[in-house]
Amino acid sequence: MTVAPHRAPLVFADLDAALTALRQRGLRVSAARRAVLERLFTAEGPLSAEEIAHGGPETAERVDLASVYRNLEALEELGLVGHVHLGHGPGRYALASEGEQEYLVCERCDAVRSAAPAELEGVRRDIEGRFGYRARFGHFPIVGLCPRCVAAADANAPS
Amino acid sequence: MTVAPHRAPLVFADLDAALTALRQRGLRVSAARRAVLERLFTAEGPLSAEEIAHGGPETAERVDLASVYRNLEALEELGLVGHVHLGHGPGRYALASEGEQEYLVCERCDAVRSAAPAELEGVRRDIEGRFGYRARFGHFPIVGLCPRCVAAADANAPS
């Protein structure tokens, strides 16, 4: 299985700081690379490459999908970006953060809840104690029903 | 997100019982369908469609990939087959079983450990108590490091 590389995350306060850092590393900041980073800095959660290519404000530079993928790959290689699998679809990308984010995803309504790793320490300890596996949910999340879909399922269950 | 349908599982002791049941439902048992079921009955774990198409004994009927996918879809629709996502690659298919199997997967060496849902009840309760999400690991497994890769990682960690 290929896994998301565990690079040291490169975290920047804003787009300008990220662009400056790229230039300091001698990397060219193309219009496409700038547009990809811009979308990630304004995103509220992990985005698919499609969403990055087609989303963004009307005035934004259009970026073709292949170019989005190439840039995401380069930025992931550098440690600025990471990806997570939130279901059957393609991976979703987000800026690297200081603490790895972990995720819970609803398989019915696609709700996503992020969690700090500390919140999942008890779960991780329990799994490692019982199975010897050391789980992490930042790349492949916990999948199940969200609270709203649990309530709906329980209401419909035969009593 | 499309999810594996929660059909009532149709469980059969052996290939003949499964084929008889298909015929009783008025379904044709083509050579391809028979070959797909045969591979699943002799498999030791979930198989990808590719493995089903190309695996099997030398003497087995060759089945093209599109036909494998069509048959898996039909068998899943009936409840005889289910699929699980064991990483970045394509889904993997197994015969339905009485109790849903759940899985833990190693992101480094691809080791797969199956677990009875009862073994994961404590973990599930903990997650639901803390986040309200009701997790299941039969379709999207718990991903992390297996015991052997945990030991290797700990041995290499700076002390």
Cβ contacts of A138 on chain B, cutoff 8 Å: none
Q: Closest residue of A to B147, CA-based?
A: A132
Q: What is the 3-state secondary structure (H, E, C) of B121-155?
A: HHHHHHHHHHHCCEECCCCCCEEEECHHHHHHHHH
Q: Does A145 score more than 70 pLDDT?
A: yes
Query: Among positive and negative, which fits the CA dihedral B72, B116, A129, A124?
Result: positive
Q: State the pLDDT confidence band at A76, using cuts at 50, 70 and 90.
A: very high
Percentages helix, strand, coil for chain A (3-state, rounded to 5) are 40, 15, 40
A51-55, A132-136, B93-97, B98-102: which range is least confident on average? B98-102
What pLDDT was estimated at residue B21?
93
| B18 or B98, greater pLDDT | B18
B116 in contact with chain A, both atoms CB, cutoff 8 A: no
Q: In what order do the strands lie in the sheet with A102-106?
A: A112-115, A102-106, A142-145, B134-135
What pLDDT was estimated at residue B159?
63
Note whether B123 contacts A119, CB cutoff 8 Å.
Answer: no
Rounded to a whole number of angstroms, the distance from the CA of A107 to the nearest CA of chain B is 6
Q: In angstroms, how far is the first alpha carbon of chain A from the final one?
A: 43
What pLDDT was estimated at residue B121?
95
A69 in contact with chain B, both atoms CB, cutoff 8 A: no
Number of Cβ within a 10 Å radius of residue B53: 21
What pLDDT was estimated at residue A147?
96
The minimal CB distance from A140 to the residues B110, B133, B140 is found for B140
B121 in contact with chain A, both atoms CB, cutoff 8 A: no
Q: How far apart are CA A65 and CA A51, in angstroms?
A: 9
Cβ contacts of B128 on chain A, cutoff 8 Å: 150
Rounded to a whole number of angstroms, the distance from the CA of A32 to the nearest CA of chain B is 26
Closest CA to B131 of A28, A93, A137, A57: A137
Q: State the pLDDT confidence band at A8, using cuts at 50, 70 and 90.
A: confident
What stretches of A28-140 show up as alpha helix (H) in DSSP?
31-42, 49-54, 65-78, 121-131
What pLDDT was estimated at residue B58?
59
Closest CA to B72 of B49, B44, B56: B49
What pLDDT was estimated at residue B62?
73
Find out whether B93 and B55 touch, Cβ atoms under 8 Å.
no
φ/ψ (deg, to 5) at A103 = -135, 150
Q: Does A3 score more than 50 pLDDT?
A: no
**Mean pLDDT of the B98-126 span:** 90
Note whether A142 contacts B128, CB cutoff 8 Å.
Answer: no
Mean pLDDT of chain A: 87
A121 in contact with chain B, both atoms CB, cutoff 8 A: no
Cα–Cα separations (whole angstroms), residue B116 to A14, B5, B96, B120, B141: 46, 19, 14, 7, 12
Q: State the pLDDT confidence band at A148, using cuts at 50, 70 and 90.
A: very high
Q: Does A57 score more than 90 pLDDT?
A: no
A18 in contact with chain B, both atoms CB, cutoff 8 A: no
A26-30, B5-9, B109-113: which range is least confident on average? B5-9
Q: How far apart are CA A121 and CA A136, in angstroms?
A: 10
Note whether A3 contacts B119, CB cutoff 8 Å.
Answer: no
Note whether A135 contacts B88, CB cutoff 8 Å.
Answer: no
Closest CA to B12 of B98, B82, B78, B77: B98
Closest CA to B123 of B112, B137, B109, B111: B137
Q: Does A4 score more than 60 pLDDT?
A: no
Cβ contacts of A134 on chain B, cutoff 8 Å: 144-145, 150, 153
Rounded to a whole number of angstroms, the distance from the CA of A60 to the nearest CA of chain B is 28
Q: State the pLDDT confidence band at A86, using cuts at 50, 70 and 90.
A: confident
Q: In what order do the strands lie in the sheet with B47-48?
A: B47-48, B92-95, B81-84
Q: Does A114 score more than 70 pLDDT?
A: yes
Contacts 24+ apart (CB under 8 A), A44-49: A45/A92, A45/A94, A45/A112, A45/A114, A46/A83, A46/A84, A46/A86, A46/A92, A46/A93, A46/A94, A46/A103, A46/A112, A47/A92, A47/A93, A47/A94, A48/A89, A48/A90, A48/A91, A48/A92, A48/A93, A49/A90, A49/A91, A49/A93
Q: Closest residue of B to A122, CA-based?
A: B126
B134 in contact with chain A, both atoms CB, cutoff 8 A: yes
Q: What is the pLDDT of residues B49-79, one digit of tens each?
A: 998 998 765 555 678 899 999 999 999 999 8
Note whether A140 contacts B145, CB cutoff 8 Å.
Answer: no
